[in-house]
Structure 1
Amino acid sequence: MRPAYAVGALVAALLPVPVTSTPVSYRDARVPVERRVQDLLGRMTLADKIGQMTQAERGAVAADPTLVTEWRLGSVLSGGGSVPTPNTPAAWVDTVNTLQRAALATPLKIPILYGVDAVHGHGNVYGATVFPHNIGLGASRDPRLVEQVYRATAEEMRATGIRWNFAPCVCVTRDDRWGRAYESFGEDPALVTRMLTAVDGLEKNGVLATVKHYAGDGDTTYGTGTGDYPIDQGVTITSRADFARIDLAPYVAAVTRHGVRSVMPSFSSVDWTDDGVGNPVNMHGHRELLTGTLKGKLGFDGFLISDWEGIHHLPGTLADQARAGVNAGIDMFMEPNTAPQFEAALTAEVQAGRVPMTRIDDAVSRILRVKFQLGLFENPYATAGEVGTAAHRALGREAVAASQVLLKNNARTLPLRPDARIYVAGRNADDIGNQAGGWTLDWQGRTGDSIPGTTILDGIRQVAPAASVTFSADASAPIARTDVGVVVVGETPYAEGFGDVGGPVCSWCPAPQQEPKSLTLQPADRAVVDKVCDAVTRCVVLIVSGRPQVITDQLGSIDALVASWLPGSEGGGVADVLFGRRPFTGRLPVSWPRSVDQVPINIGDRPYNPLFAYGYGLRT
């Protein structure tokens, strides 16, 4: 039996807010934030509080915005590919403002916080500047540039009315077979920590940053993945000491040095070898790491947002999952299509005494604190701005050039002469969707002419107008021995799950993406490399990919080899370094393996004998 005072407190929490003459301090911007939080918290019913802890997807409420009012939602998100029609800044702002008006129709008029995955620019929005994915930014070794990229991302997000970014990913990628490897800045926690200026770029420009996925998702063991995915959402099998050194380190810095205010737990689990392997604990229910370490030892005073249906990875019913997630320390729950069911389940758990009101009040206080800090109560509505500005595209081009890593350059093949005869081949030479990668317009990305921008072929033609350029994607056009071959090959877009090597293909993706993911070039790519490099005197190969592609057996016929990563919308940056307008300065953020059998391979391993070591990169 619960004590009488606990029952009384619960009944009081369920009652409507009484009408009194008490000054409404929370609406006064002159009042300190903590006083505003406590004033508002004291006026909220349990329904108000649980609503603030709930996030629904745009598609679940856009057709009927009154659901935001009815459910008392604290947040709405757009998942990858969830966009208004038309997909313009004005339509985005109209969507956000419409949902905001519904939130402000609640008795306490608490604004919603709208979130989106803008992981390499505001990629959901047509016409936005699409920057290199984090793996390329890690190759730049330039924290200042990273801050500028994320600042520009923040500006384009605000132009569409959105104030919350589910980025940056500060995972440390330790296995190239993982389909999210390109979301990481690299394999070394020290490098990832240096790139936390991404948080500053967002936060200093009015957008809430989210570091994810806490913690260990880049370090999961191949073969432990969920469902058909060999490694995604798997288990990090490690000692506490190694976990702290590799997986936790960037989050420590994000909280203690960069003041991040939102953290997203990982789909993955942790299995401490110190305790004997065989007892993995999913991060969404890991009280030791969420509450004990993050909120306790590190003093994190922001809030935790679950990943997409993240608590559904916990055992039991939705009520069991909600109870476990809240009690572990999660504050807001991304329940894209099950928001009312989640609210009902959590309400029942509180009423049954299985989730204490102190935990609910702590969660809601954290959420409200951030909303007050962002100024949402004073300025809940947005006005449309511009995306894809000339300044941002110029910055994107600079970031692309800085991310290129020169791995081989025999006989000074690069830079190319501006008046050279150039034979361009390969499926990624003139495919802006492939060079943008996943999380571009759609969750898994799109191949083909999907976004405005400049392909690598476009860039070559623009940078070297005096050059004689022949383009043949499959190298079927005649090749002259005196041509300089530029072969652009690599991967097609993917995101987590379907990006796992050895995992299932994405059957609903465009046909070119329906290919098994691999750490080696596809047969057609290999054939184009062989054909062009055997036919010309000098041959340059560019690999457009989210991770290394093993090319050891073809390296002898290649004169110059470039890791171009996933450059995004500004392919002119690749041409800038090919023709010497900018020098090659990039360095490998991950080790480049000699063979598939070497994977996983990371700096510090013993033995360590990759084809190209971590940090390698030639200069021109």
Structure 2
Amino acid sequence: MKIQRLGLWLFMATFMVTMQLSAQNKHEGPYSDKEAWNYAQNTVQRMSLEQKVGQMTQISLEFFLKTKDGQVIVPHVLDTPKLKEAIEQYHVGSILNVGGDAQTVENWRGIITEIQNIAMSQSLKVPILYGIDAIHGNNYTLGSVMFPQQIAMAASFNPDLIKRAGEVSAYETRASFIPWNFSPVLDLGRMPVWPRIWETFGEDPYLVSVMGDSIISGYQGNNMADKYHVAACLKHFMGYSMPLSGHDRTPAWIPERELREYFLPQFKSAIDHGALTVMVNSGEINGVPVHANHHILTDILKGELRFKGFAVSDWQDIEYLWQRHHVAKDNKDAVKIAVNAGIDMSMVPVDYSFSKDLLDLAKSGEVSEGRINDAVTRILYVKYKLGLFDRPIGNASDYSLFGGKEHQQLNYDVASECVTLLKNKNNILPLKKGIKILVTGPAANTMRSLNGGWARVWQGTTSDETEKDKNTILEALQQRLGNQVLYAPGTEFDSSTKEGIQAAVDQANSADLILFCGGESSYTETPGNINDLTISSPQIQLVKALAKTGKPMVMVLTEGRPRIVSAIEPFMQGIIDALYPGNQGGNVIADILLGKINPSGKLPYTYPRFTNALANYYHKYTESKEFDINGGYDPQWEFGYGLSYTTFDYSDLQLSSTVVSDNRPLQISVTVKNTGDRKGKETVLVYASDLVASITPEVKRLRAFKKVELQPGGSQTLHFTLSKKDLSFINNDLKRVTEPGDFTLEVGGLKQSFVVQ
């Protein structure tokens, strides 16, 4: 037995060394499309039907983890026989997820190494493609940077900064030897009740496209096969974010013209920029589940967009075709419908039902082997582009920057531009030196309200423990101001007591200013469904009680969606919306309040004033106050709104011509001046309005933006170019057209007119 164990140890050691050496000597990419596609096709020709079906199967990690007394062992330990069965017998091609709590980077490396060692010991040597939701940093690895969530990143209007955040996220994900990131979300955040708004880049298709392309560029780099980049995954193709009820995974009704006008462009742009995987919308559109929609998944995605990569289902969504949607009679019927519609990989996630049923369907001819070959070729193509055939595992010594000061500093810099100043009556902010502050409210002393969901665990419920070395808002202020800071929580998000509110009021009497920290705790997906967008009643009760003290009040909102605050906004002299600013959020918020940072965020969505008035900024003319006096468009704050501690003046808006044609784009220039007494950053937003069109035009649409930094008294002339196509829309024939006619251009309150020929 000792000799056998020694032989096994020598075999494993030799195998590991061989893999490491071969990884150093093999081609390091980038791999051309032709090279990758040819390799994938040749490999498919050598595969059995069972091996092909296995490549289309994705299983969640918890299925392979050892347990004790029904609980997963922590730190995670793989059940090797069960893992071998998956790879050797079922030929599983992909694994995902964390299997519970976040793990150390060292434990992740051990898990991925064991998985890949087994996969690469098989005859075909096809590596496993491991995927994870590293949506604001590698959040399932302890000690990694957790950036602001996407909605906060969008508020920065700084695509270059977001690209750098994407690079760090990719670096730290690869540090765990994981090559595939289920990010970014390109769903359009225009339904504010929807619990996944915070995962989006906001309500504007152009902003989503620009920010999405930037973070994808950061994730994938020029060579996603290298050791510092990952494959992006576009979520969720498409129309997922507009359920009629606002509740997650409930029916949407979106005419195809609307789908193409607002929901498709950002996916097209991302695919044009090289994104190679998409995850499919879990819901249904117009009565057809998207996992069963051949028109969306094959005609549009793979045909019209010429998408070369593969489409993966979302969690268990093929099963849900019969369990929830009732468009299939059983699991085998659901698998047939989904694969024939265009699904290439099934996130099953914890059994082999998909593999078994697809194998039977292929043998019976109900799913053609040609469809299976296409799916597997796409999957292997992505694996090859990632360099996994040459380097299925990484080298720990390559990631010395993981979670370190350089990455944390970037996180602080990113968060610094993601916070929006919404109100500053009588310049109450930044706070005056020497004043005594009462910090109160349910978001004041919790990391959950800074990081949101997908933070170490799915719902972000453990942030106060896992991120205890980071600062909450209260802790950051206490570090900076010491005994000038008083604290009384006052209330929880969803419950309050008279005693708790009275304790806060009593403390307020000893303070010069009240800082109310409210909004939301962490949540994601269906557990985040709500029936009322209004900020919770206990928070309103606390604010109204505090207002009676007569002390000036400032509100800091940390939230994933725009919780309606019209009942308490009048009591506030200052309001800051930080959204979900990530692990450095407490420090950044404190430094904004104290004036070390000049806020430069702009709202990436329309902030509604009323629960039943949820129109977006690109509303139609019939939704305006002019035609609907009692209920027209009247938000609390408009998309793109955001104040600064300095002031900016716009002047000299110039157009190169008053006529735009196919060969004559519109050259635009405008001068912006910092007219205040401190350095500041300003986002210059360029809106265009089509005055008459065959499809009722929006009042205005964002067509370009740039962010500049100006010293006091400094000015800069910015230049933009709009082509005729940039002014286009989808007509009733589902064609993108730019119709001739009159337009107006608006920048910083300045307007100019022009004509499209």
| CA separation of 1:585 and 1:406: change in aligned 2, threshold 3 A | same
Corresponding residue number in structure 2 for 1:354 = 366
Query: How many correspondences in the alignment?
Result: 558
Query: What's the CA shift string for 1:538-568, capped at 9, x where partnerless?
Result: 2110111101111112222110011111112
- Give the counterpart letter for 1:486 in structure 2: L
1:106 corresponds to 2:122: yes
Match of 1:422 among 437, 446, 452: 437
Match of 1:610 among 635, 659, 662: 635
- 1:99-248 aligned at under 5 Å gives the runs 99-196=115-212, 197-204=214-221, 205-222=228-245, 231-248=247-264
- Give the counterpart letter for 2:57 in structure 1: T
Q: Give the secondary-structure state (helix, strand or coil) at the position aligned to 2:568.
A: helix
The structural deviation recorded for 1:581 is 1.4
The structural deviation recorded for 1:288 is 0.8
Q: Give the secondary-structure state (helix, strand or coil) at the position aligned to 1:552.
A: coil
1:90 corresponds to 2:97: no
| CA separation of 1:534 and 1:156: change in aligned 2, threshold 3 A | farther
- 1:303-322 aligned at under 5 Å gives the runs 303-314=310-321, 315-322=328-335
Corresponding residue number in structure 2 for 1:66 = 84
- Give the counterpart letter for 2:157 in structure 1: R
Query: What's the CA shift string for 1:251-307, capped at 9, x where partnerless?
Result: 011112x11000111011122xxxxxxxx1111111111111111111110111111
- 1:143-542 aligned at under 5 Å gives the runs 143-196=159-212, 197-204=214-221, 205-222=228-245, 231-256=247-272, 258-271=273-286, 280-314=287-321, 315-338=328-351, 340-384=352-396, 385=399, 387-446=402-461, 449-452=464-467, 453-462=470-479, 464-465=480-481, 468-474=484-490, 475=504, 478-480=507-509, 483-502=512-531, 518-542=532-556
Compare the two structures and name the one with the higher strand fraction: 2
Q: Does structure 1 retain, via aligned residues, the 8 Å contact 2:438–2:511?
A: no
1:77 corresponds to 2:96: yes
Q: Give the secondary-structure state (helix, strand or coil) at the position aligned to 1:360.
A: helix
Q: Give the secondary-structure state (helix, strand or coil) at the position aligned to 2:438.
A: strand
Corresponding residue number in structure 2 for 1:40 = 43
The structural deviation recorded for 1:484 is 1.8
Q: Does structure 2 retain, via aligned residues, the 8 Å contact 1:404–1:564?
A: yes
Q: Which consecutive unaligned segments of at least 5 residues does structure 2 have?
A: 1-24, 65-77, 222-227, 322-327, 491-503, 625-632, 646-757
The structural deviation recorded for 1:83 is 4.4
Match of 2:579 among 552, 565, 580: 565
The structural deviation recorded for 1:192 is 0.5
Task: Tell me how far apart the structure 1 counterparts of residues 463 and 42 of structure 2 sit (CA, whole Å).
Answer: 53
1:598 corresponds to 2:642: no
Task: Tell me how far apart the structure 1 counterparts of residues 462 and 537 of structure 2 sit (CA, whole Å).
Answer: 18
Corresponding residue number in structure 2 for 1:583 = 598
Q: TM-score, normalised by structure 1?
A: 0.86
The structural deviation recorded for 1:467 is 6.9
Q: Give the secondary-structure state (helix, strand or coil) at the position aligned to 2:524.
A: coil
Query: What's the CA shift string for 1:585-616, capped at 9, x where partnerless?
Result: 11111111111121354532422211111111
Higher relative contact order structure (alpha carbons within 8 Å, sequence separation ≥ 6): 1
Q: Does structure 2 retain, via aligned residues, the 8 Å contact 1:217–1:234?
A: no
Task: Tell me how far apart the structure 1 counterparts of residues 168 and 619 of structure 2 sit (CA, whole Å).
Answer: 35
- Give the counterpart letter for 1:281 in structure 2: V
Q: CA RMSD of the aligned region, Å?
A: 1.9
Task: Tell me how far apart the structure 2 counterparts of residues 234 and 482 of structure 1 sit (CA, whole Å).
Answer: 47
The structural deviation recorded for 1:618 is 1.1
- Give the counterpart letter for 2:518 in structure 1: V
| CA separation of 1:447 and 1:157: change in aligned 2, threshold 3 A | closer
Corresponding residue number in structure 2 for 1:275 = none
- Give the counterpart letter for 1:356 in structure 2: S
The structural deviation recorded for 1:105 is 2.5
The structural deviation recorded for 1:119 is 1.2
Task: Tell me how far apart the structure 1 counterparts of residues 300 and 209 of structure 2 sit (CA, whole Å).
Answer: 18
Q: Does structure 1 retain, via aligned residues, the 8 Å contact 2:601–2:642?
A: yes
| CA separation of 1:469 and 1:83: change in aligned 2, threshold 3 A | closer
Q: Give the secondary-structure state (helix, strand or coil) at the position aligned to 1:65.
A: helix
Q: Give the secondary-structure state (helix, strand or coil) at the position aligned to 1:435.
A: helix
The structural deviation recorded for 1:116 is 0.4
The structural deviation recorded for 1:447 is 5.8
Q: Does structure 2 retain, via aligned residues, the 8 Å contact 1:263–1:303?
A: yes
Q: Which consecutive unaligned segments of at least 5 residues does structure 1 have?
A: 1-26, 223-229, 272-279, 503-517
The structural deviation recorded for 1:186 is 0.5
Corresponding residue number in structure 1 for 2:660 = none
Q: Does structure 1 retain, via aligned residues, the 8 Å contact 2:193–2:530?
A: yes
| CA separation of 1:134 and 1:373: change in aligned 2, threshold 3 A | same
Q: Does structure 2 retain, via aligned residues, the 8 Å contact 1:484–1:537?
A: yes
Q: Does structure 2 retain, via aligned residues, the 8 Å contact 1:216–1:266?
A: yes
Query: What's the CA shift string for 1:62-91, capped at 9, x where partnerless?
Result: 323212232211110015x6347xx20000
The structural deviation recorded for 1:477 is 5.1
